[in-house]
Amino acid sequence: MADTPTPHIGAQYGEIAETVLMAGDPLRAKFIADNFLTNPVQFNEVRGMLGYTGTYGGKRVSVMGHGMGIPSIGIYSYELYNFYGVKTIIRVGSAGSYHPDLKLGDLVIAQGACTDSNYGAQFGLPGTFAPIADFDLLRKAAAACEERGLHYMVGNILSSDVFYSDNPQSESWRKMGVLAVEMEAAALYMNAARSGKRALVICTISDHILTGEEMSADERRTTFTNMMEVALSLI
């Protein structure tokens, strides 16, 4: 297509599969490609945002980084959906737990994504849009967790624009039943809705807001294999 490569993705049309797993850290995308995909071929290195296409269980799949925050995933997911024919994006990320029963290493499947971002204003809606996951992907992910005996929870998460806050509001969100906080899901779900495509966010709890526990950057990159296997089972 004439619109590819895009300003942020160096691939030609057809080099990216219809299903893409995305991670904030591009090295996590490389880890998935190296450890789970057969014959992975790199399709992107623009801005260091690594992307690969290979096969898993005989099915074609791509993996790619999306960077940190709503503006970053907003750009990459928009280009994938609208210029590369991608039909499904599954974010495999990290999140901070607000819930006492969600421990380090547990999974949270984002049924919906609350946000303090103004990203949705661009759509000019006469109200507040509720960004939600594709239900078919969500129910299959929950079933995959059950089959593997994994501890997980399904529900609302918060996609926050702020990492270092002058006025933390974690208790307010927790009171509303929000399970965890990350920084991208709301934009991905909005872009999927606007494009008529599918999206799901699965996160591994990497730190706990209530207890102060946290994983190292290296642990986040290399130990999220349960989440990766669940996501790959959905393709």
Domain ranges within the chain, ordered by starting residue: 19-232
Helix, strand, or coil here: 171? helix
| pLDDT of res. 216 | 86
Q: Indicate the residue type of 87.
A: K
| pLDDT of res. 157 | 98
> Can you tell me the distance from the alpha carbon of 36 to that of 20, in angstroms, rounded to the nearest whole number?
14
What's the CATH architecture for 19-232? 3-Layer(aba) Sandwich (3.40)
| pLDDT of res. 1 | 53
Count of Cβ atoms closer than 10 Å to residue 71 Cβ: 14
| pLDDT of res. 147 | 98
> Can you tell me the distance from the alpha carbon of 119 to that of 111, in angstroms, rounded to the nearest whole number?
19
Global confidence as pTM? 0.96
Catalytic residues: 207
| pLDDT of res. 2 | 65
| pLDDT of res. 115 | 98
| pLDDT of res. 169 | 86
| pLDDT of res. 219 | 80
The parts of the chain modelled with pLDDT lower than 50 are none
- 86 contacts 78 by C-beta, under 8 angstroms: no
| pLDDT of res. 210 | 87
> Can you tell me the distance from the alpha carbon of 14 to that of 11, in angstroms, rounded to the nearest whole number?
8
> Can you tell me the distance from the alpha carbon of 47 to that of 41, in angstroms, rounded to the nearest whole number?
18
Count of Cβ atoms closer than 10 Å to residue 45 Cβ: 11
